[in-house]
Amino acid sequence: MKALSQKRRHPLAAVILLAIALLLTGGLYAVATATNEAKADTSVSYTAQDAEEGQKLFIANCATCHGTNAEGTADGPALIGVGAAAVDFQVGTGRMPMQMQGTQAQVKPGQFNEEQTHQLAAYVASLGAGPTIPEAEFTDVSQGDAANGAKVFLANCAMCHNAAGVGGALTRGKFAPSLMGVSEKHIYEAMETGPQGMPVFNDANITPEEKRDVITYLKSQEVNSSPGGFALGSLGPVAEGLLIWTLGLGIVLVFTIWLTSRSA
Amino acid sequence: MSHTSVQKDYQAKTNTGKIANYLDQRVGMSGIIKEFGRKIFPDHWSFMFGEVALYSLVILILSGTFLTLWFNPSMAPTAYDGSYVPMKGTEMSVAYASALDISFDIRGGLLLRQIHHWAALLFMLALTIHMLRVFFTGAFRRPRELNWLVGCALLIVGILAGFTGYSLPDDVLSGNGLRIIDGIFKAIPLVGTYLSLFFFGGEFPGTLLISRLYAMHIMVIPAILLLLVAVHMFMVVLHKHTQYPGPGRREDNVVGFPVGPVYAAKAGGFFFIVFGIIAFLASTFTINAIWNYGPYDPSPVQAGTQPDWYVGFGDGALRLWPGVWPFHWEFNFLGGTWVLSVFLPFALMAGSVMMAMIFWPWIERWVTKDNREHHLLDRPRNAPFRTGVGVAGIIGYGSLMVAASSDLIATHFHVSLNDVAYVLRFMFVFGPLIGFLITYRFCLALQRKDRELVLHGIESGQVVQLPHGEFIEVHKPLDEYRRYKLVAFESPEVIPAQPNKKGKISLLEKTRGGLSKIWFQDRVAPVTPAELEAAHHAHHDAVEGTDSSAQIEK
């Protein structure tokens, strides 16, 4: 130990320390991303031709905002390292290409078919490693646990998306959209990549199995009919108040007028 | 003693007669029936909302009794083992588990829970509409000021009843509501922290709260409500019912049906109609889907967390209160930090609306110096200032209530949440003034229209050519009944500041005089018989020509 401490002023000490630090962080990062990829890499494979076709589509449709090499411009972020999952989510749900610049990309009918989306994803994935499209195993709701999913959902998602997953408001025109009717794959990819104002829920935060549970819970909410009658959009007390002030008051008024129509 | 001996001699012939006689001898039934059975109720649809509130309360007590048989207010932890799959095995309080059991595992439980909750919403709604009716028709004036106070107390206790009930299921929604209550307690200067610790039995949320709220909700608050209802009804009988002006309706009579037998039958039927409406709502529309929210835990807050509509004005006040300007509503004083960003919205915004409502009868009496008894109601247009103030109040209260749903407005109308807040802030501050001015002018215009109708009658559409070639339209005069309604009202005039006994005009009296001027300076007086006579003459002239006018002159 004494010998080591005496060498701390050696001219090469800083260089060696820096090399060790870089190795450590780089190594840890590689391990961390490897655990993400190990579980979700094999289902989708890209050929060199896919990436080539994807690049052509990218230049024609995306480069205006994201730059010709996906390096980003003032109007759109760089796409190097965002991964195939981000492309599959944004393009697959119709959010990209954006209809117009705004606070948030809106859902619209998709502009590209499945093959084109696949090619675009292949091109963006070829630019740098990033989250990949989930394996079928992790979007299969028959293997999920709805009760655990409810727990994870209420603890992590309900603050923006509402307890019933019907969406909610964020600041300055941003919003958390409704999760009803969103495909399993897209829900998974959204958690993986954190589109728009959404935070990333990586595999260390919510494991792929837990993500599957959340999807299972949401899908069970879609299938189960509301036990108490019409759900009024599952919006809570405001919808209920509106109903009593309109339909409730309306019916009461009709009866009061009827009862007093034969006045003394 | 001689009284009973006389009664003994009487032998009823029928069984009904015997029962009636038995009751009469023991509790003086005939006297009671004479007093209450002959109480007259004038028929008007706007008089029915007090009844709707009363019947909703009865339904609340009936359905609530059923719920108490199954609800367990314990905050002890348990693992859910009922039939709602997404909660299976989740750790939760016994209270939440029993609320879920009522919803999923007890026969008829969900229906009764929904009946209870919808009845609560309807109760508060009917109470509100009833108060608006009383306000806009001036039914709160002497001798009914005290009953107005009792009504205000009913509204406030009703809010407490609703809030304690909302908090019982111990799901995330009710817990979020309680956290706000905790915040409001703590925001009260000096005593806030102590009040919160006292209320929750320690640091929020503690383990005592649900059972404490439960005791309030099922014993203390209903008892107060029933007591207030009894006092309210007693005074209704004592004061007799008010009525709208009309032919044969005077300050010293009431025109309508007596309670027995017609009105009692009608009212009994109406109870079942109200029950039917609530049962329809409860069996068709979900209310408070507690299974969506999950067990309460102080860490999460969910999007779309709002109170029931009648607490919305408080929530809205908190949402509208600006947090950054001119400072953070937080300063150091007397060695402590004073945080006013929660206290002020409640005290100033929600509080001012409540205080104005409670004290209105005395404010109006002070300004108008009108201390007479009133049993005939005002048509809202005939009291322009009061009607204007009422509309201003509705707009002020309404903007607070709407603000409680600002997030849903933002998502459903695709606008920015911040913009919704800006617009509603403007509405709260300037909306009442704009609403007042428009309503005030509207009332005056309607009064002028009434004058026009009385003086010139209804346009008949019949066009007549006079002998000298002029075309005129014949106006049909109103019938006497209709005309009576349009002319039988008082139109008070400005009472300027009066000197007191020392011959001085106090500052307060000056203020009163000023207010009186604003109140009454623009007024439309009812048509006098002389004006009517003159109008008829003019009318005749026009129709009959110069010959007839010469005739009248003689």
- Chain B residues in contact with A221 (beta carbon < 8 A): 86
Calpha distance A138→A133 (Å, rounded)? 10
- Chain A from 33 to 72: CB within 8 A of any B CB: none
pLDDT above 70 (res A112): yes
The three state secondary structure string of B382-401 is HCHHHHHHHHHHHHHHHHHH
Q: Which of B114, B117, B300 sits opposite A159 (nearest CB)?
A: B300
Judge whether B402 lies within some domain: no
- Chain A residues in contact with B49 (beta carbon < 8 A): 252, 256
DSSP label at B169?
T
Pick from B87, B107, B159, B417 the residue to mutate for testing the A interface (most A CBs within 10 Å): B417
- Chain A residues in contact with B406 (beta carbon < 8 A): 169
Dihedral Cα B354, B358, B362, B363, nearest 10 deg: 10
Which range of A88-102, A117-131, A245-259, B457-471 scores highest in mean pLDDT? It is A245-259
In A, minimum Cα distance to B121 occurs at A244
**Phi/psi at B473 (nearest 5 deg)?**
-100, 135
Average pLDDT (B115-134) is 97
Q: What angle do CA B204, B81, B202 make, to 5 degrees?
A: 10
Cis check: omega of the bond before B477, within 30 degrees of 0: no
Judge whether B397 lies within some domain: no
Q: Across the interface, do B288 and A237 touch by the CB < 8 Å criterion?
A: yes
pLDDT band at A106 (very low <50, low <70, confident <90, very high): confident
pLDDT on residue A182:
92
- Chain A from 125 to 154: CB within 8 A of any B CB: 146-147, 149-151, 154
pLDDT on residue B449:
93
pLDDT on residue A3:
67
Q: Is B371 helix (H, G, I), strand (E, B) or coil?
A: coil
List, as residue ranges, the binding site of A: 62, 65-66, 157, 160-161
pLDDT band at B80 (very low <50, low <70, confident <90, very high): very high
Q: What angle do CA A204, A18, A33 make, to 5 degrees?
A: 20
pLDDT above 80 (res A7): no
pLDDT band at B50 (very low <50, low <70, confident <90, very high): very high
Residue B172 in contact with residue B35, Cβ under 8 Å? no
Higher pLDDT, B412 or A223: B412
Judge whether B423 lies within some domain: no
Average pLDDT (A227-244) is 90
pLDDT band at B550 (very low <50, low <70, confident <90, very high): very low
Q: B129 and B172, same structural domain? A: yes
- For tokens 């958390």, name the residue: A176
User: Residue A2: CB partners within 8 Å, gap ≥ 6?
Assistant: none
How much helix, strand and coil, in percent to the nearest 5, is found in chain B? 65, 5, 30
User: Residue B59: CB partners within 8 Å, gap ≥ 6?
Assistant: B115, B119, B274, B275, B278
Calpha distance B172→B290 (Å, rounded)? 9
Average pLDDT (A63-90) is 90
B381 class by beta-carbon count within 10 Å (0-12 exposed, 13-18 middle, 19+ buried):
buried
Q: B8 and B49, same structural domain? A: no
| Structural domain ending residue among the three candidates B378, B408, B428 | B378
Q: B33 and B45, same structural domain? A: no
Q: B46 and B23, same structural domain? A: no
Q: B100 and B19, same structural domain? A: no
Residue among B160, B141, B133 at smallest CA distance from B44:
B133
Judge whether B404 lies within some domain: no
- Chain B from 247 to 266: CB within 8 A of any A CB: 255-257, 266
Total length of chain A: 264
Flag whether residue A248 sits within 8 Å of chain B, measured between CB atoms: yes
Residue A148 in contact with residue A210, Cβ under 8 Å? yes
Q: B464 and B333, same structural domain? A: no
Judge whether B267 lies within some domain: yes
pLDDT > 70: percent of chain B: 95
Which range among A22-31, B169-178, B357-366, B483-492 shows the weakest confidence by mean pLDDT? Answer: A22-31
Q: B33 and B49, same structural domain? A: no
pLDDT band at B1 (very low <50, low <70, confident <90, very high): very low
**Min CA distance, B311 vs chain A (Å)?**
10
Q: Give how many domains chain B has, as a whole number.
A: 3
Q: Across the interface, do A166 and B104 touch by the CB < 8 Å criterion?
A: no
pLDDT on residue B325:
61
- Chain A from 173 to 212: CB within 8 A of any B CB: 173, 175-176
Flag whether residue B271 sits within 8 Å of chain A, measured between CB atoms: no
CATH code (residue B235): 1.20.810.10
Q: B313 and B213, same structural domain? A: yes
pLDDT in tens, B230-269: 999 999 988 888 988 888 888 888 888 888 788 888 889 9
Pick from A103, A152, A161, A162 the residue to mutate for testing the B interface (most B CBs within 10 Å): A162
Judge whether B383 lies within some domain: no
Residue A179 in contact with residue A172, Cβ under 8 Å? no
| Structural domain ending residue among the three candidates B363, B378, B393 | B378
pLDDT in tens, A44-75: 678 888 888 999 999 999 999 999 988 889 88
Q: B202 and B325, same structural domain? A: yes
Calpha distance B191→B185 (Å, rounded)? 8
Q: B316 and B256, same structural domain? A: yes
pLDDT on residue A16:
86
Q: B359 and B454, same structural domain? A: no
pLDDT on residue B552:
38
Residue B495 in contact with residue B476, Cβ under 8 Å? no
Q: Give strand ranges (E) for A81-195.
A: 168-169, 175-176
Neighbour tally for A177: CB within 10 Å: 22
List, as residue ranges, the binding site of A for heme c: 62, 65-66, 157, 160-161
Judge whether B68 lies within some domain: yes
Q: Which of B114, B293, B306 sits opposite A238 (nearest CB)?
A: B306
- For tokens 């005074």, name the residue: B235
pTM of the prediction?
A: 0.87
Calpha distance A225→A213 (Å, rounded)? 20
Judge whether B251 lies within some domain: yes
Q: Across the interface, do B289 and A228 touch by the CB < 8 Å criterion?
A: yes
Taken in order A63, A68, A71, A73, the sign of the CA dihedral is: negative
Q: B104 and B23, same structural domain? A: no
| Structural domain ending residue among the three candidates B327, B353, B378 | B378
pLDDT > 90: percent of chain B: 56
Q: Across the interface, do B307 and A237 touch by the CB < 8 Å criterion?
A: yes
- Chain B residues in contact with A169 (beta carbon < 8 A): 303, 406-408, 410-411, 417
**Min CA distance, A197 vs chain B (Å)?**
15
Flag whether residue A225 sits within 8 Å of chain B, measured between CB atoms: no
pLDDT on residue A237:
92
pLDDT above 50 (res B69): yes
Q: Locate B424 and state its tokens.
A: 């509603």
- Chain B residues in contact with A198 (beta carbon < 8 A): none
What domain range includes position B103? Answer: 38-72+81-289+302-378
pLDDT in tens, B375-408: 999 999 999 999 999 999 999 999 999 999 999 9
In B, minimum Cα distance to A146 occurs at B86
Higher pLDDT, B325 or A40: B325
Taken in order B320, B325, B328, B332, the sign of the CA dihedral is: negative
pLDDT in tens, B472-505: 888 888 888 888 889 888 888 889 888 888 888 8
Flag whether residue B292 sits within 8 Å of chain A, measured between CB atoms: yes
Flag whether residue B89 sits within 8 Å of chain A, measured between CB atoms: yes
